[in-house]
């Protein structure tokens, strides 16, 4: 059995920052994540997508933000358990918790911090015959590198932020982009929609509206075209090297739902002052946590991590007073 002070469930930006906050208060952490690399959705879904609301960074790509957070956590030597889920939690705040992962690793800890974002997630797949034959070859649910799509004829399905943002971004490298949406109104930031329409006016993007995806054509997993149909059922064939269906993510709490926590609308209810759940010693931080006034922002998750770490200190070091020092005076250990 491995032993540590805290187990963090989720290696996204909030989970990584929690390593730092715990470390600054003298607590060691193990981090468990279902993905094969740290970063959560920032790494898996949009590493090259810019983020504009991180303090001190007018703009930073999601992948770079994760690299910075890993660097910030590194002095506290976290141990990562990637490519696995926490499947069982036993014990309590008095005796400590025993955490078991899907790879049968067993970790004993004093506290647990759930930083699992929206929980386990996967793409909403369009109902197209033979779709699985093209997935990972010419149908992709995320963009990791824009350069992979240079010179390609791309069909993007969807009308939300991901569809609009990637159409705007990939227009700089693609041979042609067609955006297929069931209506001529997009559910994205107004500025992004204005940029998309400006690209359409210049012929850089073809807005195929109101249409929806109807079928795929190609061979050996390589697309040659995407069939679309309008509201009257009339079909049109779009030339395509690849299809990017952006219809959101389906998420679930997974095993977390069985941990005797208070669940509200698929989120974990917490005390807003400490982020502690209904089960003492277990905390929820970031997007998976809910409380009055909660904002689903990375910076709000960072604040949750700090609050949880300070509260967790009492469980890890019972009876020991917490003498808090600012990082400007305390510094961060090196080596």
Query: Would you say the CATH fold of 125-247 matches that of 2-121+250-330?
Result: yes
Give CATH for domain 125-247. Answer: 3.50.50.60
Joined tokens for residue 241: 């090297």
Please tell me the predicted confidence (pLDDT) of residue 139. 96
| Coil/strand/helix, residue 117 | coil
Look at the domain 2-121+250-330 and name its fold.
Answer: FAD/NAD(P)-binding domain (3.50.50)
| Tally of CA atoms within 13 A in the half-sphere of 321 that contains its CB | 2
Q: Which two tokens stand for residue 14?
A: 């909030």
| DSSP state string for 141-194 | S--S-GGGGTT-EEEEE--BHHHHHHHHHHTTT-SEEEEE-SSS--BS-HHHHH
Contact 230, 143 (CB under 8 A): no
Q: How far is the C-alpha of 12 from the C-alpha of 209, rounded, in Å?
A: 35
Distances (CA, A) of 207 to 88, 187, 321: 48, 14, 62
pTM for the model stands at 0.71
For helices 161-170 and 190-201, the axis angle rounded to 10 degrees is 40
Domain extents in the chain? 2-121+250-330, 125-247
CB contact set of 228 (below 8 Å; sequence gap of 6+):
180, 208, 211, 212, 213, 214, 235, 236, 237, 238
- Would you state the pLDDT for residue 269? 97
Query: Would strands 267-269 and 263-264 be described as parallel, antiparallel, or unpaired?
Result: antiparallel
Other CB atoms within a 10 A radius of the CB of residue 233 amount to 7
Radius of gyration from C-alpha coordinates of the chain: 22
Rounded distance between C-alpha atoms, residue 237 and residue 211, angstroms? 11
- Both tokens assigned to 297: 């922002």
Distance CA 98, CA 54 (A): 35
For 177, the token pair is: 């982009």
Query: Tokens 């904002």 label which residue?
Result: 295
Element (H, E) at 246: none
Give the residues of the chain that fall short of pLDDT 50.
335
Whether the Cβ atoms of residue 130 and residue 24 lie closer than 8 Å to each other: no
Scanning the structure block, which residue is given the tokens 């141990």? 79
Neighbours of 298 (CB within 10 A): 20
């Amino acid at each position: 059995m491995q032993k540590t002070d805290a187990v963090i469930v989720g290696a996204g930006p909030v989970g990584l920052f929690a390593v730092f906050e715990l470390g600054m208060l003298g607590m060691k952490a193990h981090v468990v994540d279902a993905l094969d690399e740290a970063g959560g959705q920032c790494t898996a879904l949009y590493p090259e997508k810019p983020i504009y609301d991180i303090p001190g960074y007018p703009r930073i790509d999601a992948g770079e933000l994760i690299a910075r957070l890993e660097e910030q956590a590194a002095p506290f030597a976290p141990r990562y358990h990637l490519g696995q889920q926490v499947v069982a939690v036993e014990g309590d705040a008095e005796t400590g918790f025993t955490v078991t992962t899907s790879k049968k690793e067993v970790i004993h800890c004093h506290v647990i911090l759930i930083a699992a974002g929206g929980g386990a997630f996967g793409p909403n797949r369009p109902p197209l015959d033979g779709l699985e034959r093209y997935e990972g070859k010419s149908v992709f649910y995320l963009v990791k590198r824009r350069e992979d799509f240079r010179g390609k004829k791309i069909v993007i399905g969807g009308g939300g932020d991901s569809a609009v943002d990637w159409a705007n971004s990939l227009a700089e490298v693609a041979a042609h982009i067609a955006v297929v949406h069931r209506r001529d109104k997009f559910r994205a930031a107004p500025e992004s929609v204005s940029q998309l329409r400006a690209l359409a006016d210049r012929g850089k993007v073809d807005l195929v509206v109101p249409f929806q995806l109807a079928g795929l054509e190609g061979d050996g997993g390589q697309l040659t075209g995407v069939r679309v149909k309008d509201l009257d059922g009339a079909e049109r064939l779009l030339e395509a090297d690849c299809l990017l269906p952006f219809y959101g993510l389906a998420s679930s709490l997974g095993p977390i739902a069985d941990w005797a926590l208070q669940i509200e609308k698929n989120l974990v209810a917490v005390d807003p002052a400490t982020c502690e759940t209904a089960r003492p010693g277990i905390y929820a931080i970031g997007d998976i946590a809910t409380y009055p006034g909660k904002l689903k922002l990375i910076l709000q998750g960072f604040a949750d991590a700090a609050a949880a770490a300070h509260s967790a200190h009492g469980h890890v070091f019972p009876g020991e007073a917490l003498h808090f020092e600012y990082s400007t005076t305390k510094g961060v250990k090196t080596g």
